[in-house]
A and B are shown apart, each in its own frame.
Chain A
Amino acid sequence: MTNKIVFENVSKSYGNFKALDDINLEIPEGMFGLLGPNGAGKTTFMKILVTLLDPSKGKVLINGHDAANDKMDVRNIIGFLPQEFSIYPQLTAYEFLEYIAGLNGIKDKSKITKALEQVNLLDVKNKKVGGFSGGMKRRLGIAQAILKEPKILIVDEPTAGLDPEERIRFRTLLVELSQKRSVILSTHIVEDISSTCENIAFIVRGSMKYIGSTDVFINKAKGKVREFVVRDTRDLSAIKLKYRIISLRRFSDHTLVRVVGDYSSEDGGKEVEPNLEEAYVYFMHEDDPDV
C-alpha cells in the first residue's frame, strides 16, 4: 500500500498569531522536503502531522486516518525525530530503545539491536546517553524513530548543529531509509533538501508558497541569479542596494559577487544557473518590496 498524506485547509492559530494558514497539500511517496526559514511554521506543521498538536481548522489524513481523531492509528504508522529532543541521561542507548520498544508493544529485542546497527551505535549500546555527542544523540533519535519500522518517517531539522561529516552521514542514512518508506524532512538548511529530496514544499510565514518538484522550483528562479565582477568597493555598495547577495568570493584583484533579484539589463553582470539555495532566497523575498 502506498502512503498518502493529505492536508485539507489546515490552519493553526495561537491566539491572534497564525502559525499555519489554510494549508492544502498532498505529500507524495519518497523523500519529501519541507523548506522554510526559522519561524515559518515547519515545526507546527510537523507536530500536527505526528498528532502532538491538533489543527485549529481543517484536517490531516494519513493513510486515511484523521490525525486529530485517530491519534493512536497515526502514531502506529509514523516514526518521528523532533527538532529538539533530549533523552533521560541516566539511560543507556539500549535501555532507551527498550523503553520505546515497550511503548510500541515490540517484544522482539533483536529489533533494538538491528536499529542500533543501522545507525552505527551498536558498539556504544551500553553507554549512558548523557555522554553522547550531538551527532550520536541524533542517530539514536533516528534509531527510535525507525524501531517500529514505520511506514512514514518524519524528521524535523535533523542536521542542525551537526558537523559537516556527520551531516553527510545523516543525509545518506535518510536516503537509505527512504527506500522502504516515505520520509518527510523539514529543514531550513537548503543543502539537506537539495541533496536528498525530489519534491518539496516551501513554507513562509505559515503559508505554502510552492509545492512540487525541486527542479521546477529551481527553474522558476532562472534569470534571477547573476554574477558580477567587482573591483571597486563603491560598485559593491551599489549592488548591495539593489540585490540580495548570495555569495562573495575574494580574488587578488577583484571580488566575484553572486546575487539574486529582478534585474535590468543596464546593471551588467552575467546571468548564471540558479541552485536551490538561490531559488530559496529569491522566493522567500519575492513579495518583499525591498528586493
Chain B
Amino acid sequence: MYDQILAVAKTEWRCQVKSWVFRIGLLIIIGVPLVVDLPSSAADLLTTKSAGICYSHGIVMMGSCFMPLLTITIFYKDRVTSMPVLIFSQPVSKTSFVLGKFFGMFSVYMTIVLLGILPWISIPLFFGEMPYSPIVFIYFLLILSLPSMFYFACLCYLVEVGFGKTIATISIPLIFLIFWELLPGFASHILPDYILGTMAAGSPLPPDMLQFIIINRLFLIIAGIGLLYISTRAFSLKKFMGM
C-alpha cells in the first residue's frame, strides 16, 4: 500500500511541477510576500526570528489562496484523460489512490515553500549583511506553516473529493479563509497576531500562549487526518470514472 501511495504521489508531483500551476504557485506564495515585506535599507532588515515568522505566516496566508487552485488541478487531468481506467485496472485500492493524490498535492506546496526559503534568507546579502539562518526558517515552517497548511489542504481536498465541482473547491475554502476570525481560536489555522508578535519579539512565551499553540497545532493535525480519512471514504470510483 505504501509503495502505491508513493507511486501516485510521485507521479502527481511530477505532473504538477511541470505545469503552469506550479509557476503560479511560485509567484503567489514566494513572490507576493517577498515584494510586500522587502526592506528598503539595511536598517529595515528584520531579525532572523522575525523574518522566519514573517515568511511562515506569509506562506500560510498566500498558500491558503493558492491551495484551492492546486486542488482543482489534482483530479482535472484524470477527468480529461482516461488514465483512471489504466490506474484502476492495476491492483491499487481507492484509499491508496486518494492518499497518494493528496500527498502528491501537498508535496507540490512544500516544494514551493522550501524553494521560497532561498530568496528570503538571501535578502540581507543585498545590504551587505550575513544571510538569515535557514534553520530558523525551517523551525518556524514546521511549527507555524506545516500544521496550518496540512489542515487547510485537507479541507480543500475533502471539498474537491466530495463535490467534484470547481466552484465549490474554490469558494468553500475561501469563505472559510475570509471568516477565519469567527472560528474558535483553537480551531483556526492562522495564529493570532499577538502570539506571532510575542514570538517575533524573541521573549519567552507565557505558559497560556504556549498551551494555546500546542492545543491549536495538535487540533489542526488531528482534524486534518480526520478530514483526510473522510476523503478516502467519500471518494466514489464510479463517479470519478464517469460510470
Contact = CB atoms under 8 A, between A and B. Distances in A.
Nearest to B93: A72
A75 B4 contact: no
The interface centre, meaning the residue of B6, B10, B83, B243 with most chain A CB atoms within 10 A of its CB, is B83
B18 interface: yes
A78 B15 contact: no
A99 B83 CA distance: 11
Contacts of B91: 72, 75-76, 103-105
A105 B15 contact: no
A90 B82 contact: no
Contacts of B18: 90
Contacts of A87: 81, 83, 86
Interface string B84-95: 011111111100
B85 A91 contact: no
A84 B82 contact: yes
Contacts of B89: 50-52, 75, 78, 80, 82
A160 to B, nearest CB: 14
A95 B11 contact: yes
A80 to B, nearest CB: 4
A85 interface: yes
B10 A52 contact: no
Contact of A90 (B6, B15, B90): B15
B14 interface: yes
A165 B60 CA distance: 56
B82 A88 contact: no
A194 to B, nearest CB: 27
Q: Which of B11, B91, B243 has the most CB of A within 10 A?
A: B91
B193 interface: no
Contact of B90 (A86, A88, A98, A100): A100
A148 to B, nearest CB: 8
B4 A82 contact: no
A53 interface: yes
Contacts of A86: 81-83
Given A85-B83, A86-B82, A102 B93 contact: no
B72 to A, nearest CB: 16
Contacts of B213: none
B243 A85 contact: no
Contacts of A88: 11, 15, 77, 81, 83
Given A76-B91, A86-B83, A53 B243 contact: yes
Nearest to B6: A102
Contacts of B10: 99, 102
B199 interface: no
Residue in B3, B11, B15, B241 whose Cβ sees the most chain A Cβ within 10 Å: B11
A102 B97 CA distance: 12
A85 B91 CA distance: 18
Nearest to B14: A95
Interface in B9-29: 10-11, 14-15, 18-19
Interface string A94-119: 01001111111100000000000000
Nearest to A156: B85
Interface of A: 50-53, 72, 75-76, 78, 80, 82, 84-91, 95, 98-105, 141, 144
12 contacts: A52-B88, A75-B92, A84-B85, A85-B85, A86-B81, A88-B77, A90-B14, A99-B8, A99-B11, A102-B7, A104-B90, A105-B3
